[in-house]
């Protein structure tokens, strides 16, 4: 569990932006995995399977929160920025914070792609297995995300 909990936590945390929420989502991820372990056939890597569950749980959590707080998808960016600013568990400088805010403005799927590629340096093939998207589409998505972030960071500076 130690082997997977850390990388999964960071992936979840970059999506939900709050340590407490990330901890809850990580717990749900392991519970789901434990309950459905008989569905794991061993054809994919265990880490791929767990990543898939973790990202699904993250998106479900964000959607549930939006519904609970009666928040639209357009308000999501400002909500995430607020969470980033209020986050007490940070260990970065101003630039890293700006990057987090820029990433938070991306659409959910693009955010996942950027996080996996930029921070985790994950291979497109593994990302393709996790997200169920073609490698070509992922490359295009990442390229777009980088362009947007560069533009945003350029404007901020």
Q: Which residues bind another protein (CB under 8 A)?
A: 1-2, 5-6, 9-10, 13-14, 19, 23, 26-27, 30-31, 34-35, 37-38, 40-43, 46, 89-93, 95-100, 118-119, 121, 146, 149-151, 153-154, 157
- Round to the nearest angstrom and report the end-to-end CA distance of the chain: 41
* Contacts within 8 Å (CB) and 24+ apart, 21-30: 21/61, 24/61, 25/54, 25/57, 25/58, 25/61, 26/54, 28/57, 28/61, 29/53, 29/54, 29/57, 30/1, 30/5
CA distance 2 to 70: 36
Which of 63/90 has CB closer to another protein?
A: 90
**Other CB atoms closer than 10 Å to residue 49's CB: what's the count?**
20
Residues sharing a CB contact under 8 Å with residue 2, sequence separation 6 or more, in sequence order: none
Quote the least distance from Cβ 95 to another protein, whole Å.
Answer: 5
Q: Nearest approach, Cβ of 134 to another protein (angstroms)?
A: 22
Q: Compare residues 63 and 146 and give the one whose CB is closer to another protein.
A: 146
Beta carbon nearer to another protein, 118 or 144: 118
Smaller CB separation from another protein, 39 or 70: 39
CB of 41 to another protein, least distance (A): 6
- Residue 41 or 68: the one with the smaller Cβ distance to another protein is 41
Minimum CB separation of residue 108 from another protein in Å reads: 17
Cβ at position 77, least distance to another protein in Å:
18
- The answer to whether 104 and 81 are in contact (CB under 8 A) is yes
């Amino acid at each position: 569990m130690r082997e997977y909990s850390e990388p999964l936590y960071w992936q979840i945390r970059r999506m939900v932006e709050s340590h407490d929420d990330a901890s809850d989502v990580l717990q749900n991820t392991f519970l789901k995995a434990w309950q459905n372990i008989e569905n794991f056939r061993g054809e994919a890597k265990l880490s791929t399977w767990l990543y898939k569950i973790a990202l699904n749980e993250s998106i479900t959590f964000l959607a549930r929160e939006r519904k609970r707080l009666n928040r639209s998808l357009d308000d999501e960016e400002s909500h995430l920025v607020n969470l980033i600013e209020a986050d007490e568990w940070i260990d970065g400088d101003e630039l890293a914070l700006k990057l987090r805010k820029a990433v938070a403005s991306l659409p959910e799927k693009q955010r996942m792609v950027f996080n996996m590629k930029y921070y985790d340096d994950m291979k497109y093939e593994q990302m393709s297995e996790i997200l169920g998207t073609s490698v070509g589409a992922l490359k295009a998505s990442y390229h777009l995300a980088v362009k947007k972030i560069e533009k945003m960071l350029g404007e901020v500076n």
